[in-house]
Amino acid sequence: MSTIPSRSSSIDDPITAEGGATTEVLEMRIMCLNGWGGRLHDQLIPYLRAVSPDVLCLQEVVHTPASAKDWLAYRDGDHVLPQRANFFREVAAALPGHVATFCPAARGILRDGEETVPSQWGLATFVRASFPIIGQAQAFVHKSFSSDGYGHHPRPRNAHAVRIHDFDRGWTACIAHMHGLRDLNGKMDTPERLVQARRFADLIAHLAEENDRLVVCGDFNVEPGSRTFDVLRELGLTDLVTARHFSGTRTSYYEKPGRFADFMLVGGSVEVIDFDVVEQPEVSDHRPLVLEL
C-alpha cells in the first residue's frame, strides 16, 4: 500500500531543498471521500488540513445556512445519525485557499431535540484557487432536486464536474464525481442504476474536451463488476480501486456486508504517480481515495 504524505505548505509555495534551492511540488493531488455528514468531524478536519488535496470531491455534505449549531440529528424511522450542521462551511474553512462549490440534492429536516431545522444535503467540490476553473457542469443522475423533504428511497442524487487548468504543466484536467443512489435492497445492478451511469457519462462527455486529463470518482454505491463500469469504459476510463486489487473502500465504522462503494477512474492520458485507498486515519465510514497525477 502506498503512503500519502502530508503537506505542510500549499502547492503554490516553493519547498526549500538542501542547500537553499527551491523545488516545486510536481503532482496534482485529488481526493474523493464520502464525508458521512461530518460525523467524525474531529478526525476529518485535521486530516484534510494535513493532506491538503488540490481537488476534494466530497459526498454526503450537510449545509444548514440558517443554523449556528454544531450538531443536528437526522432521523429516518428508528435510525438516528448525528450530522455536522455546517459541514460544508467547516470544510471550506479548513481549506481556505480553495474555491468551494456546494451542489444540493435535497432540502429536508434535521432535528435539534424536538425542534425541526431545514437543512440542505448534497455534494461539494473544493479546488485550490491557483487552478482556475474554466468549465463546470452540475446535473442530477437520479430523480431531481427535492425542495420539500429528502423523499422516499432511492432519493435524488447528483453529480458535479469541473475543468481546471494547470499553468505549470500546461494541461487541463476534467474531474467529475457523483453520489450514486442508495437502494435499500443492496448494491446490485438495477435499471435505475444503469440510467444513472448513462446520465453521469453524458455529463462528463458534455464537459470534457479532447486531451483533458480525465478523473472520475465518487461513492457509486455499486459493487465491482457493475454495469456502471461498462458505461464508463466507453469513455476510455479504468478503475484504480479494482485494477490495483484493493480489498475494499469501507472503514471499521461500516458494519454491513459488502466492502466496496467508492471508486476512482482515470482516462488513458493520466499519468498516475500514486494512488491509495487510505486505511488510517479513519475519518468516515468510507476510506479516502487519494490520487497523485
Q: Provide, rounded to the nearest whole percent, the portion of the chain with pLDDT above 90.
A: 88
Considering the domain boundaries, does residue 102 fall inside one?
A: yes
Q: What is the pLDDT of residue 25?
A: 52
Stretch 13-40: mean pLDDT, rounded?
Answer: 70
Q: CB neighbours of 271 closer than 8 A, spacing ≥ 6?
A: 293
| CA distance readout (Å), 126 to 108, 164, 189, 207, 233 | 24, 12, 30, 18, 26
Query: Residue 173: pLDDT above 70?
Result: yes
Which three three-digit cell numbers place residue 289?
481515495
Quick check: is 4 in a domain? no
Is the pLDDT at 167 greater than 80, yes or no?
A: yes
Residue 118 lies in a domain: yes
Q: Is the pLDDT of residue 6 over 70?
A: no
Q: Is-contact 64 86, C-beta < 8 A?
A: yes
In a domain, residue 172? The reply is: yes
User: Can you tell me which residue has the cell 470534457?
Assistant: 208
Q: State what percent of residues in the chain have pLDDT above 70.
A: 91
On whether residue 15 sits in a domain, the answer given is no
Under the banding of pLDDT at 50, 70 and 90, the label for residue 79 is: confident
User: Quick one: pLDDT at residue 18?
Assistant: 40
Strand locations in 44-86, DSSP E?
55-63, 71-76, 79-84
- Give the C-alpha distances (Å, rounded to integers) separating 156 from 62, 101, 206, 275, 282: 15, 18, 21, 30, 27
Domain ranges, residue 47: 27-292
Stretch 169-187: mean pLDDT: 96
pLDDT at 76: 85
In a domain, 253, yes or no: yes
250 pLDDT more than 80: yes
Kindly state the DSSP code that residue 78 receives in the 8-state scheme: T
d(CA 176, CA 267): 12
**pLDDT score at 39:** 98
Residue ranges of alpha helices (H) inside 32-118 are: 41-51, 87-94
The CA distance from 216 to 263, in Å, is 8
Evaluate if residue 4 carries a pLDDT over 70.
no
C-alpha–C-alpha distance, residues 46 and 178, integer Å: 24
- Distance from C-alpha of 31 to C-alpha of 235, rounded to nearest angstrom: 21
Per the domain annotation, does 152 fall within a domain?
A: yes
Please state whether beta strands 98-112 and 79-84 pair in parallel, antiparallel, or not at all (unpaired).
unpaired
Per-residue model confidence (pLDDT) at position 47: 98
Q: What is the CATH number of the domain that holds 152?
A: 3.60.10.10
Contacts of 257 (CB under 8 A, 6+ apart): none
Number of domain units in the chain: 1
CA distances, 228 to each of 184, 190, 270 (Å): 18, 10, 21
CB 163 within 8 A of CB 135: yes
Beta bridge partners of 215: 175, 266
Residue whose cell numbers read 431531481: 144
213 within some domain: yes
**Does residue 14 carry a pLDDT above 90?**
no
- pTM of the complete model: 0.92
> According to the model, what pLDDT value does residue 215 have?
98
pLDDT at position 266? 98
Residue 26's pLDDT is 65
Using the predicted structure, report yes or no on whether residue 8 has a pLDDT greater than 50. no
